[in-house]
Structure 1
């Protein structure tokens, strides 16, 4: 019996310790996903991209916590088509979403017009893919993918919508209905104009309610904060304007609008920390196209070009991904990627198999970021609008114009695209030109067309913001 006592003690002690001290083993959770999507922001207008004028501490902090993409591209240099590529994970040219935004007054040769123009209902969205993975999904802010009810976010894979269906609206509540009813705020399908709330702040506040609700229910969520900042109209609060005494005109206003965008980001990031879910949340920040310097005084330097052009300043955007435990903090990724890569990246993070994604052009970026795959995510990228088009193949880029010969640039040594190498690289020039045309022959015709006067205006905008003096 004496020899049994130590044995009994040894057996009893670990069992008692386990019952009293060891925490329960939790099953790994799917990460929450937050997409912060700016509108018409300038490539150079963030502290993490070197701006000395803008005040963006929260976005700078986010950049320090994740990976910054040095060559992130959108699928189109204007709002609507860019969003179509983002939300479907594919080149929107393949389903004819090429020409411009919807709904719009600019179409003149279309089978559909106004509110009837939109993201084809047969195209599957980011929201639908994540709903299938068990996520709660919501959009806050600008939709701009169709005005008719069948295009509404709540019919396209999102459980909640607080925002507006159109492309641009006041940042302050309307006292009278605007000319375009698509720019009225909605909660679900019901019109809902906030009182005395600056829209950028309201988008953050509404998204936080969604985040809190799902965190409490222990359910994974996808929150798409689709800001209209810093798109026109140029609206800012007096408090934000006062922070920029050394600036003037639209440059001062866009700085104040960017400050509000940064503040909204900070609200969301602080809430994640407060709820204890920051370590299990992917946060992405990016923009829908290059800044329209002539409209909102944004800056894309040192890149030439602005929104609506195929120069780097029209199609290259800031992009940050924070994924704690999966992506190294304060890192950079240098190969070209596209915003259509976000859908498969999110889907894979949610536990999905990217082989199940049908006709998607994007790729899961995580293996590339982490060095498991050392090749380029994309050897070739394409852009097009009417007669204008561009191809990025490796480190070379060819741009085709309607009113002059195509030009060829070597981007690593000439990101401002000032040194045309077409005459020095005739074989490469011909090969890339033919490849661009072959790609065009494989895509759908545009579902709607712009009046030619707008195409001409964009060519003039390109010339104004593309020169050796580059006077942005």
Structure 2
């Protein structure tokens, strides 16, 4: 018996190695939401929040210190990631807002082919577990874009607990809303593990875009209790959210190992943009700027690749790369021939990872974000950024290189010393390259949330001569800037609005603030609703019956103790309890829409489909 075992064993391993060598690699693409460049312990800037599981991807593979994304915030980066093309080539420059062509749906254009579609055609099982933010209409659903399975949500809301029911913010399995919603950071990992196990005998592609660590900072006590030493409550909640994300990544990586697939799996980890430090404390380390800016803090992100046995382990690479490369690299690893007609902008990184090619993957990397822009070539970067006060974040309009700043990133990672005056020849060189690239792009298909298609902000209310402007009357389209908006911090208040509709009412009647602090009186599913955010925590009060068409007066009364009463034509239709807003909201007041960052579980601007004839804010 022993002799037969000795004879059998080499043959067994020979067969196993042959099967192993001939297998197409699995592909696991993990994306964090709003995770800053400086937060992971492997980045070397802090040890405050341990991230051993995420760090292991770089430790077992290659960590890029100059890893970029092509968009400084959520949806554009994801559009570029899944297509391998600069998203400005097909009009996906901003988060979906108001379409330039009236009535045109907003989402990843159907003219584009996703990585899921290409890998599915190559025989892969494809699963998407997490956030979409690439369109809420049926044609944009992940299962219409090359994915066999979907478990996640379509709208941009990034809450850790998503509403149950219908609508764009529902948590879905496939196309069906879930009846119960678990803690999503954990749920996305659980669903991923199940998918990998069910498809262990065939190559699979998993797209795992977590909604952590995006605001609001919703977490569980078991994670927050790990950081009792952190005194700042916001920072403590952020630490809990990041720790939950790290645990979730760890459970997925453990499953890959337990299935015996580690050497057969190409793994990526990136963030979709830099950290929005003010809202969630996510640090960008030594980098200048934040999310929604073309400074390094908005576009340089954690970036690691692992493929055990195929690429080196424990290597740090300083060459600039971009998330567009991941689609091209994945297709090359899968043995898919890349047609030049696809016009991919990404580069196959495999020969650079293995050392076969010692050069730089890119001659230059480019950005355009409204009136902001950037180009990096070698050590040099020409940039026009909101961090320099050039423009306000996602302000639409035509970008030009005039008055752009020049930095040498090797010598000045923090973009502190503008060298434009000292090196006009370098400015001219980079401006020429950027202008040539810009000439190949199309205009945005929509304006960012909060802006009209003509590029201007949604209609502003002219300041009244007296303080009555902070209480009304207002009408549809009016907007108050933060300084002119009511200060509701720690107070009860009442909202009253006269409405007129000719169809089933839907949309925001009045909103102040955003997804950290604020409130909204709105209609969802035909029913009057009041939503309130207090330090990111969401409270909802919803009427039981539909609001009829026609002309009505609606009210929301919030007492000093947080008791809420909703009325329609003086009849009480709902009651509930909320926490008061603790600080003045950091965004202004809108009538007839929610202009930028939505308070409730809907997609901004969620414009009211009727008229707000008159609206007031008063005492409770």
TM range (shorter): 0.7 to 0.9
Structure 2 CA distance for partners of 1:36 and 1:16, relative to 1, 3 Å:
closer
Counterpart residue number, 1:87: 82
- Report the CA distance between 1:392 and its aligned residue: 0.9
On the 8 A contact 1:54/1:259 being kept in 2, the answer is yes
Aligned pair 1:34/2:19, yes or no? no
RMSD across aligned positions (CA): 2.1
Where is the strand percentage greater, Structure 1 or Structure 2? 2
Q: 1:45 to 1:208 in 2, by over 3 A?
A: same
- Give distance in 2, aligned partners of 1:328 and 1:284: 14
Out of 418, 423, 428, the position equivalent to 2:426 is 428
TM-score normalised by length of structure 2: 0.67
TM-score, scaled to structure 1: 0.87
Kindly indicate whether structure 1 or structure 2 has the higher relative contact order, using CA contacts under 8 Å at least 6 residues apart: 1
Conserved? CA contact 1:67–1:333, under 8 Å: yes
Query: Deviation digits for residues 128-158 of structure 1, max 9, x if unmatched?
Result: 1111221100100101111110011001010
**Cα distance, 1:170 vs. partner?**
2.5
1:123 to 112, 116, 125: 112
Compute the displacement of 1:431 (Å).
2.3
- Which residue among 180, 197, 202 is the counterpart of 2:187? 202
Q: Which runs of 5+ in 2 are unaligned?
A: 392-401, 459-480, 482-620
Q: Residue 113 of structure 1: CA displacement?
A: 6.2
1:362 alignment partner in structure 2: 346
The answer on 1:239 being equivalent to 2:222 is: yes
- State the partner residue of 2:152: 163
8 Å Cα contact 2:158/2:212 also seen in 1? no
Show the counterpart of 1:97. 92
Deviations 1:85-119 (A, max 9, x none): 00000111111111x213x4xx3x621569x2011
Change (3 A) 1:113 1:376: farther
Residues of 2 paired with 1:254 and 1:194: CA distance? 25
Change (3 A) 1:45 1:20: closer
> Can you list the C-alpha shifts for 1:301-358, whole angstroms capped at 9, x where unaligned?
1001100000000000001111011111110111101100000111111112235672
Alpha-carbon distance between aligned partners in 1 of 2:8 and 2:406, rounded to the nearest angstrom: 70
Structure that is richer in helix per residue:
1
Match of 1:11 in 2: none
Unaligned runs of at least 5 residues, structure 1: 1-13, 458-472
- Structure 2 counterparts to residues 52-451 of structure 1, below 5 A: 52-98=47-93, 100-102=94-96, 104=97, 107=98, 110-112=100-102, 116-174=105-163, 181-195=167-181, 197-215=182-200, 218-247=201-230, 248-355=232-339, 358-400=342-384, 402=390, 405-450=403-448, 451=451
1:225–1:194 distance in 2 versus 1, CA, 3 Å: farther
* Alpha-carbon distance in 1 for matches of 2:180, 2:186: 11
Distance 1:391 1:229 in 2: 29
Indicate how the Cα distance of structure 1 residues 161 and 357 shifts in structure 2: closer, same or farther if over 3 A, else same. farther
Aligned equivalent of 1:22 = 11
Larger radius of gyration: 2
